[in-house]
Structure 1
Amino acid sequence: MEKKSNTFKTWILISCCFFVLICSIVYFIQHKTSNLPDTHSIVLTDVGFDTSITFEADCTKEEFDSYVAIVKESFTHYNQLFDQYHAYDGINNVYTLNHEAYKNPIKVDTELVDLITYSLSFNEKDTAFDITQGKLLDIWHTYREEGLEKNAQQESGRLPGNEEIQEARTHSGSDKIQIEGNTIRFTDSQFQIDLGGIAKGYATEQTAKKLKEEGLHTGFINAGGNVVLIGHKSNEAWKIGIQDPDKQTSLLRLESSDPLAIVTSGDYQRNYEVDGVQYAHIIDPKTGYPPRYHRSVTIFCKDSTLADALSTALFCMSLEDGQQFIQENYPDVGVVWIDSKGSTSIEPDLSTSQYDVYITDNYKDKVNLN
């Protein structure tokens, strides 16, 4: 009887040890797996800029969670700083400037001063990009928002009157803004700035820099079409699609082994319809109306801030003028123009039944039809 009892005790002890061993192995595998580098991604819809933010990174889950926190904090900050439609407690932003800078000099964040200064300098090279057209853009924004509501009800939108447009254009120009250190003052009571053509590119670029400083080696941010590639993918090239202007699919494909910023401006983004005609959200400061040169313009370069400004500017320029401007000022930048079939007499680099595609020489071997 005693021998049988000892055998039973031994069996119980062995079983307990085996159970502990199995639990330890499972814990070890799970713990080890959670700390192995892997590809993680997330889509954020609540960090501003009226768009979703896609973030992907090759790292451990723990590292990814810390990177996501950086992306959320960074985009929320820049959205508030560059917002011209809303005020926020404790921050002097673009809204503050547009409502108070004529009455009193306003002290603002250094980054806001830097982006305004950068934008004014860019305008000296090309007047097709102009942040001082805030009054004009505000008028178009009002009509576009009304038009989108009407379009949703199967009704036509309205266009602003030409007299209203031309009057708004008189309240623009870099001579109407004074910058001293971190203090900004406007000299025209109707003057407004609008950073919509560059703010998202700047925010994406700065967020990518913060991620790299915190140790991210490979990943990307896609802020509603403003893409920044971080690092190099292992054993393969980055593959980026360029959207078909009339579909949700990619028309073109870029393959690059280098980290890049890619920004597209198109007539299909945030447009509205008036009497059967689509009007883009980008406004040509030279005319006061949406331009009709291209269906889309895509920029490839090292800096998302520059890419954002260039895509806006080139969208407001003819193909000939745009090609010359890039060649003379930014020869290292890659550009893809997608135009309606037969819209110019220039021989396209690629062509479909609907579109002619033009590519700068430095990217012709990297861009192909999808």
Structure 2
Amino acid sequence: MKKHLKLSVLFIVVIIIFSLSECGNKLFQKKDYIFGTIVDIKIFGESKKIASEASDKILSNFNRLHQLLHPWEKSLIFKINKAIKNDSPFLLEDQEVISLIRRGQDYENQTEGFFNPAIGKLVSLWGFHSDIPLKSIPDPKVITKFVEAKPSMNNIKIKNDELNSLNKYVQIDMGAYAKGYALDQAKRILEQYKINNALINIGGNILAMGMHGDREWIVGVQDPRNPNAMATLPLKSGWSIGTSGDYQKYFTLNQQRYSHIIDPYTGYPPTNTQSVTILIPPDENSGEKSDAYTQPLFIVGVQKKIEMAKKLSISHYLIVLENNEILISDELNKIIMWQEKIDDKKITIY
């Protein structure tokens, strides 16, 4: 049953980590810039030596993954895409990348194709392979050509370490789940060092482990049209949080915002949603799922968002629509803590 109410707040998307007030010498923090975003590692209650070694290993692994998976630079994925474009087989012996491709196929199937890492050509067409914004939208005829070609992760076949694509329009871009995968890798590294209390943040994709002293880790949520944090959210140990927003990477033409999130079925950025945030409980791939599952929730029509959340077994979600209406699950509504009131907004609890 849906419950309707008004709450005075605009919020969403995890971007600010709030430090609690424990002794400073117990909290180790290290930052870097990887995956095109800020990486923030916080470790509580460990010696500086252990925390520093673990964080260095995590950051080194993040850099390795960035160099392995980047779709535009001369990475392994770049080489695979070049072979696909040339309609050539590719010898792929990297089991990590093979597993990522197969999970990408699984996510595409689970989400009815709204999560589709094979549409790298469309992402590039919209200029999101570059930091220089487009001065005009792409030619609609070219967009239609790419959409009608129906590139899919399922076009990729791997047998005896040989990769082939049945569709030359396939261009792999793992940007929608690479950061989440990196979070899961970071968790395993922390476990190797027997570190129990940490918070890893890759540009708003966050994994919590243990506690921050005697309290849970707390993250801030913000309005996608305002940089101020308007609410806070506690993260239980092992939970991951992911966000997709139209403000993370976008350009504006004629007062219309075009984001980096592309609908595979239309070839255009959706315009009905500002942001989606979800929480995923502890799981072997919880970080990856928290990253991948936000995109289909963002793309699908308003009437289908809740249906998609149920299909993917997402119990904690928060969606801000273009008209500023907020859709929030009952489970997330129970734990979110509102900080300020700035404007009346319609909230629907599911």
2:45 maps to 1:52: no
Cα 1:117/1:143, change in 2 over 3 Å: closer
Tell me which amino acid in the other structure corresponds to 1:111. Answer: E
Residue identity matched to 2:96: E
Q: What's the counterpart of residue 98 of structure 1?
A: 81
Q: Which protein has the bigger strand share?
A: 2
Give the match for residue 140 of structure 1.
Answer: 126
Amino acid at match of 2:101: I
Aligned residue for 2:146? 168
Matches within 5 A, 1:351-370: 355-370=324-339
Inter-partner Cα distance in structure 1 for 2:116 and 2:221: 26
Structural mapping, 1:309-324, within 5 Å: 309-324=292-307
Asked whether the equivalents of residues 276 and 318 of structure 2 are also in contact (C-alpha less than 8 Å), the reply is yes
Q: Give the alignment partner of residue 61 of structure 2, picking from 74, 99, 102.
A: 74
CA displacement 1:10-37 (0-9 Å, x = unmatched): xxxxxxxxxxxxxxxxxxxxxxxxxx97
- Identify which of 113, 117, 123 aligns with 1:131: 117
Of 42, 66, 79, the residue aligned with 2:30 is 42
Q: Are residues 1:118 and 2:111 paired?
A: no
2:21 matched residue in structure 1? none
Question: Based on CA coordinates, which of the two structures has the bigger radius of gyration?
Answer: 1
Separation (CA, whole Å) in 1 of partners of 2:180 and 2:216: 23
TM-score by structure 2 length? 0.82
CA separation of 1:257 and 1:137: change in aligned 2, threshold 3 A: closer
Alignment match of 1:244 (pick from 209, 223, 243): 223
Q: Distance in 2 between matches of 1:75 and 1:41?
A: 16
Specify the SS of the correspondent of 1:147.
Answer: coil
- Counterpart-to-counterpart distance in 1, 2:128 and 2:223: 28
1:63 match? 50
Deviation at 1:183, TM superposition (A): 3.1
Q: 1:143 to 1:327 in 2, by over 3 A?
A: closer
Does residue 262 of structure 1 match 2:241? yes
Quick one: distance in 2 between partners of 1:147 and 1:201?
A: 26
8 Å CA contact 2:242, 2:294 repeated in 1? yes
User: Structure 1 stretches of 5 or more lacking a match?
Assistant: 1-35, 149-156, 344-354
Partners of 1:144 and 1:272 within 8 A in 2: no
**Cα distance in 2 for residues equivalent to 1:143 and 1:62:** 38
Partner AA of 2:217 in structure 1: W
Whole-angstrom distance in 2 between the partners of 1:309 and 1:255? 21
1:142 Cα deviation from its structure 2 partner: 5.6
Picking from 336, 346, 349, the partner of 2:318 is 336
TM-score by length of 1: 0.78
Cα distance, 1:257 vs. partner? 3.8
Cα RMSD between the aligned structures? Answer: 2.0
1:196 counterpart SS class: helix
Paired amino acid for 1:183: E
Where in structure 2 are the equivalents of 1:178-327 lying within 5 Å? 178-302=157-281, 303-327=286-310
Distance change in 2, residues 1:229/1:140 (3 Å): same
Higher helix share: 1
Alpha-carbon contact 2:208-2:235 (below 8 Å) kept: no
Instruction: Give me the identity figure in percent.
Output: 23
Displacement of 1:356: 2.7
Asked if the contact 1:37/1:60 (under 8 Å) is kept, the reply is no
C-alpha deviation, 1:335, in angstroms = 0.6
Quote how far apart the aligned CAs of 1:181 are: 4.7
